[in-house]
Amino acid sequence: MNTLANPVGWFEIHVGNMDRAKAFYESVFKRTLVALPSPDEGMRMMMFSGDPQGSGAAGALVLHPMKKPSTEGALVYFSCKNCSVESSLAVEHGGQIFKDKFSIGLNGFIAIIGDSEGNAIGLHSFE
């Protein structure tokens, strides 16, 4: 039996312009991104600050010639105090809103936004 609290341990969001993406994510989520060394010379990574031993999943923005931003595939949800705040910040910083904040009942609220790179990402809050 797996005793880990959450099934996801790491995520990567692919970007086309690292400087633009770093500015977007730092502005919207008020988190510092730090350079993460990569063994692949063609790859650049910026990791979200946090506690690797804490709850939730750690992750990074990744610039790599073989990976492109997309609205297709897996959807990463960022935890927020009130996802309507981050939705507004996303628009202010070059993103867009695909689906405004809406209730998911006892599990809180979600919104789906587009980042500065063309990725769809989710927002989740209990307010």
Tokens of 53: 């031993």
Which pTM was predicted? 0.89
CATH number of the domain bearing residue 72: 3.10.180.10
Q: What is the pLDDT of residue 5?
A: 64
Which residues does 61 contact at the CB level (< 8 Å), separation at least 6? 12, 13, 14, 15, 18, 21, 22, 25, 33, 45, 46
63 within some domain:
yes
Residue 3, domain member (yes or no): no
Over residues 12-35, the pLDDT tens digits come to: 999 999 999 999 999 999 999 999
Q: What number is the average pLDDT over the span 2-13?
A: 75
- In angstroms, the CA 93 to CA 7 distance is 31
95-119: average pLDDT: 97
Residue 4 counted as domain residue: no
**Residue 28 within any structural domain of the chain:** yes
Per-residue pLDDT averaged across 112-124, rounded? 97
pLDDT in tens, 36-84: 998 888 899 999 987 767 777 889 999 999 999 999 989 999 999 999 9
Residue 109 lies in a domain: yes
Please indicate, yes or no, if residue 2 is contained in any of the structural domains: no
Total domain count, the chain: 1
Residue 1 counted as domain residue: no
- Look at residue 5 and tell me if it is in a domain: no
Please report the pLDDT score of residue 14 as a whole number: 96
- Per the structure, the complete domain to which residue 70 belongs is given by 10-125
